[in-house]
Every structure is written in C-alpha cells, then in structure tokens.
Amino acid sequence: MESVIRNSLRAEVNDNLLMNRIFEVVGKMKILVTGAKGQVGTELCEQASARGFDVLAAGRQDLDISDQNAVENYVVEHRPQIIINAAAYTAVDKAEEEVELAEQINALGPKILAVAAAKINIPLLHISTDYVYSGDKEGFYVESDETSAQGIYGKTKHQGELYVREALEQYVTLRTSWVFGVTGNNFVRTMIRLATQHSELGVVADQKGCPTFAGDIARTLLTIAADYNAGKNVSWGTYHYCGKESVTWHEFAETIFEVALQKGVIDKKPKVNALTTAEYPTAAKRPANSVMNCDQFIAAFPAIGQASWQSGLEKVVESLS
C-alpha cells in the first residue's frame, strides 16, 4: 500500500512544471497557516505576527485544503516559503459517522498540501495525534512503535502522515496529544464551564496521556520555521511532542479545578468521581494509554525542548477570569 502511495505522489509532484520552482526568501518569511481559526491555528497566527513573520492565515472558508486546484492556485498566487498545517477534523466521535469528511480533512488535505509544497520545494510542518496508537502498550510510546489506530479519527490522521512522508523530504510531523488552548472547545474550558453548573462530576480515570498547550505547539512549530528561514540545519521527520508529565483525565480535571479555584475563576471545586471507560461509553474507542516519549524530539531540537502543560493551563484559566 505504501509503495502505491509513494509512486502516485511522486507522479503528481512531477506533473505540474509550472509550480516546480523555488521562491526566493525576500524580507520577512511568509508562512501559510492552514486551520488558522482553530485553537492551534489561532496561536500560530498570533505568535507568528508577533515574531515578525508575514502570515497567510487560511481558515476553511479561505482555503479548502481538500481541493487540489484551490491549494495549488493559492500557493502560486501567495508564494509562501513554508506551510504549517493546523487544519484537522477533531470531532473524534462524529468521525465514526462522517468518515468521508474526516478523510478529506485529515488525509487528503495533508496529501494535497504536501504535493503542493514539494512542487515548489518548500517544507511542510504538520500536526498529528497520539490516536494513531492503539493504546494497548504498557509504558510510553516511541516513534518507532507500531501504529494501530482504533477509530476513524486516528486512522485518517495516520493516513495523512503517510501522505506527507511520501511526498516530501523536508517535513516535520508532530504527534501531539490532549491539546487545550485559550480558544476553541477543549477539555479545560469544558471542565471549568461544568464546574460553574454542577457540584459533582464524573470523569474517566482509566485513560492516561499527556496534556499539551496549543501555545507551546505553535511556539515549537514557529521556532522550527525560523531555524529553517535562518539556514540552520533542521532534522526533518516525525516526532512526538506533548506536555511533560502524564495524567489521567480524572487527574487532569482535579488539577484544572485547583488552578481555577486559585485564580478565582470558580468559587468552589466540584466533587470529581472517577469513572471507568465502560461507565462512559463513546462512539469512538479512545486509547487507554497514549503517553508518548519525546526524547527524539528533544535530541533533534534541544533549543526547544519539552514544555510543562501546567504553565499552559494557568494561561488558559487566567484568560477565563
């Protein structure tokens, strides 16, 4: 299957001679951010502007990444020097029903972006997920572990990884997990909202992972982009990038309420009952263990390192005060 993907992608890359050229970097680096209105995309655009990048912020209304002609025309017109793909279909349970839509955004979209990037010889920075793993392993996952996604979301994200890998040599794919940010729908914001409405909550306590702040993901990707723009050597490939320290959803919720109480966002901590996965059934099966080891990323990008999710949590809570 992978050889078929490889041959078809290489054929696509060589088809369009019009786009097969390198654009010179003049002045500020121009970055195309897809998924610009999501929680990571919003952070990318804000931080990139603050750092002096020329930002092309493309939400789905601006650019449908599953439309090959639209993507190629956009790249020809705007001439970015790097693409950062933060677009994703992340409705894990709905993906079990909306399979085609998940495939278009999570698999076909990265393929089209990667092919467009290869045609003009620019890098693609791409975000993937811990859901590419089954979650059955004891201990942490490393990049060389077998991928065996349990649901449509994870399967389509893994397919997107394959497309990017086969189309490009200059790419960085970050597998991240339990993403939360200042904007958008995420576990932190949901828990705080529920805490203002209920005195008692039930949260799953037998699924373990590593929360990751959207702002840290954005900072990491933009630092890689800046290194590339400065002519520094970039270690291309697929890496794990998530927050330090693993927790269960139950432990994460308890920490959220502690910080929210300290910051005055809630008046009282709700009682948090520990649930099993069986007691909280969902349409899509989640990994019981999606703890990822980030040593390979730290070795490849020592100046960036791995951030603590607790500091990101404080920022999100403070934004809600």
Count of domains for the chain: 1
CATH number at 181 reads 3.40.50.720
Closest CA to 283 of 88, 91, 102, 148: 91
DSSP SS3 for 157: helix
- Cα(101)–Cα(115) distance, integer angstroms: 20
End-to-end CA distance of the chain: 51
258 domain residue, yes or no = no
Catalytic-role residue among 74, 133, 153, 239: 153
58 domain residue, yes or no = yes
Q: 49 lies in which domain range?
A: 2-185+212-243+289-309
193 domain residue, yes or no = no
199 domain residue, yes or no = no
236 domain residue, yes or no = yes
Structure tokens at 167: 């189309």
Per-residue pLDDT 10s for the chain (321 aa) are 444 444 444 444 444 333 333 333 335 899 999 999 999 999 999 999 999 999 999 999 999 999 999 999 999 999 999 999 999 999 999 999 999 999 999 999 999 999 999 999 999 999 999 999 999 999 999 999 999 999 999 999 999 999 999 999 999 999 999 999 999 899 999 999 999 999 999 999 999 999 999 999 999 999 999 999 999 999 999 999 999 999 999 999 999 999 999 999 999 999 999 999 999 999 999 999 999 999 999 999 999 999 999 999 999 999 998
Contact 313, 251 (CB under 8 A): no
73 domain residue, yes or no = yes
262 domain residue, yes or no = no
Q: Is 153 a catalytic residue?
A: yes
33 domain residue, yes or no = yes
Quote the pTM value.
Answer: 0.91
